[in-house]
Amino acid sequence: MSPLNTRRRLSLTAGAGIAAVALALTGCSGSPAGTETPDEPVELRMTVWTADETQLAMFQEIADAYVAENPELVSKVTFEPIPFEDYTTTLTTQLAGGNAPDLGWILESYAPEFVSSGALADITDTLKDDEDYDYDDLLDSSLALWQKDDRLFAYPFSNSPFAMFVNTDQLEAAGQPNPADLVASGDWTFDAARDMSAAAAETSGTAGLVVRDFDYQAWEVLASVWAAWGAAPWSEDGTTCTLTDPEMVDAMTWYHDAVFVDGAIPGPGVTADFFAGDAAMTITQISRASALDDSFAWDIVPLPDGPGGHQNVIGQAGIGVFANAEHPTVAADFLAYFTDPANAEKLATYFPPPRESLLNAETLGAANPKLSEEQLQAVVVDGIQDAVTKPTHVNFAKLQDAVRSQLDAMWTADADVEQVLSGTCEAITPLLEG
């Protein structure tokens, strides 16, 4: 038996005490899960929302290595892609229907709900007791959403900063400055980005600035904008609506006017893919950089400043072990292997890790050859520091639908932004207090 086999066996023994908690998500129930070493090798299943073949191939390569080193534990690991737009609904349906995957990705907006519900197994001891895991290398700030009472219930494998991708060909054709020069001079602001995008859209006949994945539905993505105003949809403790605070009213008025007055942002129903050359700029996560090619000249710069100064914003995703899965102990052991320092470095090709030792431009540059060390330092390494995440709440699923429904009234040219936000607060206050 190889030394790594020995480590995995030791890790499994340490993880055998994973608490078997009842599944408490709405409409779900579960019985205690077993924690003993299996009598024969088991199959594991992990749900993910990526369908990228290169990413899936990397996951499978890591999993196959684990199987080869631990044939007495696992015979196969399968990654099950679920479309992003249906992911959480499909996952919770599986959990409720007794078809729980062993592991799965979890979006940060739903982290409090999953962590507090008992849906996830406690993985703290499995990771800490793995002699090669180096748990102390994990950034405390990255773990916060995934903890309860100082216990960890998911590993935040992706800490992807939002950034501005720019088509420098379109900006140059419109006679606009290079955003990198504005960053250097301290003049890179949302107002500047708006004016430049409007000019580029008029010249090119395509779109100006696109907040990717918003599509006038996923309102929480607008955190990448309103954070620069110092705005938030609710108080830090999640009990009070703050959509009517002056900062949020100003931020949403800015966005509304950029669409309907300035022509800088495409309106509802318009599809524009920056990576296909259909827009001058897009706000999205750095993990999208893999979609860039050489069809146009491009650059990546930090998010612009706003009236509240500069605010970094990240999107997080965690990997959790489900408490009512068939093999939570083995699944936790596989998670320890999948996210150990060596494999975290491989995953860093697409997913900025929570490991302090890997968050440097040199390491990330080796995994991301499309980006320069300067870009990686400014956008990824610096972008994770003091960052906020998109909105999260223990009742987020219901809040998401309620806010989206109310904000539909904002996306017309003659909308009263403050009135819409006031009505939204009235609608969601019972959900915040409940």
Average pLDDT on 354-380 reads: 86
Quick one: pLDDT at residue 433?
A: 81
Q: How far is CA 228 from CA 123, 153, 250, in A?
A: 35, 31, 11
- pLDDT tens digit sequence for 286-327: 878 878 888 999 999 999 999 999 999 999 999 999 999 999
Say if residue 272's pLDDT is above 80.
yes
Q: How many domains does the chain have?
A: 2
Model confidence at 27: pLDDT above 80: no
**CA dihedral sign of residues 79, 111, 387, 292:** positive
* pLDDT value at 9 more than 60: no
pLDDT digits (tens, 9 = 90+) for 388-427: 999 999 999 899 999 999 999 999 999 999 999 999 999 9
Of 81 and 28, which is predicted with more confidence?
81
Tell me the three-class secondary structure of 281-314, residue by residue: EEEEEHHHHHHCCCCCCEEEECCCEECCECCCEE
Q: Based on the domain organization, do 405 and 279 belong to the same domain?
A: yes
Candidate from 31-35, 38-42, 105-109, 352-356 with smallest mean pLDDT: 31-35
Same domain, residue pair 274 and 408: yes
Residues 107 and 183 in one domain: no
Residues 173 and 307 occupy one common structural domain:
yes
Same domain? For 332 and 255 the reply is no
Out of 361, 384, 407, pick the residue that ends a domain. Answer: 384
pLDDT digits (tens, 9 = 90+) for 204-251: 999 999 999 999 999 999 999 999 999 999 999 999 999 999 999 999
Percent of the chain with pLDDT over 90: 79
Residues 294 and 212 occupy one common structural domain: yes
Question: For 294-298, 359-363, 428-432, which range has the lowest pLDDT when averaged over its residues?
Answer: 359-363
Q: Which one is predicted more confidently, 366 or 140?
A: 140
With 50 as the cut, is the pLDDT of residue 31 above it? no
How far apart CA 393 and CA 234 sit, in angstroms, is: 9
Residue 17 has pLDDT above 60, yes or no: no
Residue 261: CATH number of its domain: 3.40.190.10
pLDDT value for 314: 92
pLDDT classification of 141: cutoffs 50, 70, 90? confident
Distances (CA, A) of 332 to 11, 136, 233, 266, 320: 9, 18, 35, 44, 8
- Whether residues 149 and 167 share a domain: the answer is no
Q: What is the mean pLDDT of the chain?
A: 90
- For the cut 70, the answer to whether the pLDDT of residue 271 exceeds it is yes
Q: How far separated are the first and last CA of the chain, in Å rounded?
A: 54
Residues 402 and 358 in one domain: no
Structure tokens at 383: 């972008």
Q: In the prediction, which pLDDT does 43 show?
A: 97
Is pLDDT at 368 greater than 90 in this prediction? no
Same domain, 176 and 200: yes
Q: What are phi and psi of 91, to 5 degrees?
A: -65, -50
pLDDT over threshold 80, residue 33:
no
Residues 199 and 348 in one domain: no
Class of residue 406 by CB neighbours under 10 A (exposed 0-12, middle 13-18, buried 19+): buried
pLDDT in tens, 249-267: 999 999 999 999 999 999 9
Same domain, 219 and 339: no
Say yes or no to pLDDT of 21 above 70: no
Q: Which domain holds residue 423?
A: 163-311+391-433
Which amino acid, one-letter code, is at 28?
Answer: C
| pLDDT for 115 | 95
Give yes or no for residue 19 having a pLDDT over 60. Answer: no
Is the separation of the CB atoms in 280 and 170 below 8 Å? yes
Interhelix angle 396-407/417-433, rounded to 10 degrees, is 160
**pLDDT at residue 29 tops 60:** no
pLDDT, position 226: 98
Return the pLDDT at 36.
61
* Per-residue pLDDT tens digits for 61-117: 999 999 999 999 999 999 999 998 899 999 999 999 999 999 999 999 999 999 999
171 and 226 in a single domain? The answer is yes
